[in-house]
Each structure stands twice: as C-alpha cells, then as structure tokens.
Amino acid sequence: MTALLIVARFAQFASAMALFGASLFLAALAPPVLRADLAPSMRPIVTIASVAAAASAALWLLLESGEMGGGWRYAVDPTVLATVLADTGFGQVWRARLVLALILIVLAFWRAAPPAALAALSAFFLASLALVGHAAMRENAAGLFERANQALHLTAGGFWLGSLPPLLLSLRRLGDPALKGATGAALRRFSGLGHVAVAAVLVTGAINTFVILGRPPLDFSSVYQACLAAKIAMVAIMVVLALFNRYWLTPRLALDPEAEFALARNTAVEIGLGGLVLALVSAFATFEPV
Ligand code: HEM
C-alpha cells in the first residue's frame, strides 16, 4: 500500500505543479500574441494534468482509508471512507481539495476559461497540500508558520518546475519573426520571477529541514536523510543549470544558433531532474523524519 501511496503522491505533486505552472505562464508571463499561439499546444498538458490531479487525489484518499482501516478492503469500504472524510483532519482538507479538483477539470476543458482563474485555483489546490503531512503536525502558532512555509515551498517549486514545459514550447517560437518579440518578453518575465521562486524554494526548503528534521541531513544510515540529501544535490544541479541558461546561453541567443538548441536541451534536463526531485520527496516524506 505504501508503494501505491508513493505513486499517488508523485502523480499529485507533478500534476498540481504542471497545472499551476502552465496556467500561470499563460496568464502572467506570455504576452497576448504568444498566449494565443501557445494555448492550443498547452491544452494536452493542462487537461491531462487536471484529470491526473483529481484521480491521484481520489487514489490518495482510498489509500489513506485503507491504511487507517488496516487493510486493502478498507480502502473501498464506504463506512471507513465516510469516517475518514468526516472525522479526520486529512478528510476535512481532502473534501475541499476534491471539490476544487472537479472545478479545475471544468476550467481546464473549457476553452473560454480565463487562464488567471485556472492559475489562482490551481495555486490553492497545490498550496493546500501543506495542510497535511509532516509540516502540518503541530497545532500552535509554530504549526501555522510551518504550514505557511510549506505552502510557499510548494507554490514556488510549482512555479519553477511547472513553467519549464511552456518555456520549452515557447523556445521553439523564437525563430518565428511574428512571435520573437513576445517570446523574448516571456523569457525575461520568467527569468525575473524565476529568481524569486528559486530563492523561495531554497529558503523554505531549509526551514522545512530545520523544523521537520532539526539538523542537516548528513546521517546517511537514515533513509529519510539520505533521500533528502539526494534531493538537495539534484536541486543544486538544477540551480547551476538554470544560472548557466540565464547568464551564459540567453545573452547568446541572438548571436549563436547553437545557444537555442542548448537552452532547449538544458530545459528538458531540468524537467527530468525536477521529476526525480518529486519522485524522491513522494517517497521519503512517507518515512519517519529521523
Ligand atoms: C525544485 C526544488 C524543490 C521542489 C520541487 C520541492 C518539492 C517538494 C514537495 C512536493 C514536497 C512535499 C510536500 C508534501 O509532502 O506535502 C517537499 C517537501 C520538503 N522539501 Fe522540497 N522541494 C524542492 C527543494 C527543496 C530543497 C532545496 C530543500 C532543502 C534545502 C527541500 C526540503 C524539503 C523538506 C525537508 C520537505 C518536507 C518533507 C517531509 O514532509 O518530511 N526541498 N518539497
């Protein structure tokens, strides 16, 4: 059951981040001419992510019920499911998140839906994950701070990772004279907000480590610490790649035709590393933080 929970968590993080990053990119980073051109290519990402977000949230609920009941058959036992939804903190949060997931599906499939509405609701959907899990274990003012910190960790990480697929699709438009200017503007906006998002991920991640673990993850005999250390190493590689893309390749875009190819390749590598980061945290945050 734990293995399936890890899969459900991965699908939930990845889909919620893809939905948030894609809709925010369209709503706030892409100028109208680029948005109009990009939106049809983004539709498969947005619609599949919305369905995956709802499905993985539902699966996570079933597994939580199975775990609380003490076996597989309780995962689909209506009495246990009703008790989990009505009487637990997880259930309270999940009731709201499941309703939100259905609204997100409607917005994702509705072509006329304003991208800003999808961006705002998917931000809530992603941030509300901070109300369950290790960051939500304490009830006092410190607990409130830890939840807020985790919500910021998730949304900043979601902006960073979730914006990479639309960024990759935008790069292909640099060669189109009608879209070159708008694409350049989107790249500059992404870079500006990206700096803030990366800084926020690093600071909130360090705070998370301090409040949940209480020390740097240096004892590799603990699976939790070994996985957290691997996650930090991967994020470090992603930061180096992002800096190289921004300060070496981007200024060379107009001069060197190879730079565009290298930028697209590095962005794809960043997406892959981001996927590994999510896979790691989907697993290790189900273990005891020791
Ligand atoms: C691309 C960058 C990153 C992404 C996408 C990311 C994503 C996530 C996600 C999805 C969670 C799970 C939240 C949950 O269980 O509800 C999480 C938790 C966490 N992250 Fe990150 N993170 C990133 C960088 C970092 C960094 C740099 C650090 C440390 C310096 C860090 C430390 C943590 C810790 C300690 C937790 C809590 C794990 C637990 O609940 O036991 N993260 N992160």
DSSP string, 113-137: S-HHHHHHHHHHHHHGGGGSSGGG-
Q: In whole angstroms, what is the distance from residue 202 CA to residue 180 CA? A: 32
Residues in the chain: 290
Give the start-to-end residue ranges of the domains of the chain: 2-284
Closest ligand 1 atom number to CA of residue 213:
35
208 Cβ below 6 A of ligand 1: yes
* Separation of alpha carbons 210 and 134, rounded Å: 12
Ligand 1 near 209 CB (within 6 A): yes
Residue 227: alpha-carbon gap to chain centroid: 18
- What pLDDT is stored for residue 256 in this prediction? 87
The tokens of 202 are what? 């690093």
Predicted pLDDT of residue 211:
94
Tokens 């640099």 locate to 174
Q: Which of 281, 287, 288, 290 to mutate to test the pocket of ligand 1 (most atoms within 8 A of CB)?
A: 281
The sign of the torsion formed by the CA atoms of 229, 235, 241, 246 equals negative
Ligand 1 atom having least distance to the Cα of 208: 35
Q: Which residue has the tokens 């945050």?
A: 285
Q: What does pLDDT average to in each consecutive run of 10 residues of the chain (290 residues)? A: 95 98 97 96 97 98 94 94 96 98 97 94 98 88 93 98 97 92 95 97 97 96 97 98 96 89 97 98 96
From 231, 238, 273, 284, mutation site for ligand 1 pocket: most ligand atoms within 8 A of C-beta: 231
Predicted TM-score of the model (pTM): 0.96
What local confidence, expressed as pLDDT, does residue 20 receive? 98
To which H or E segment does residue 166 belong? helix 141-171
11: how many CB neighbours lie within 10 A of its CB? 20
Ligand 1 contact via 97 beta carbon (within 6 Å): no
Give the whole-angstrom CA distance, residue 183 versus residue 165: 14
If you take atom 12 of ligand 1, which residue's CA is the nearest one? 281
pLDDT score, position 58: 98
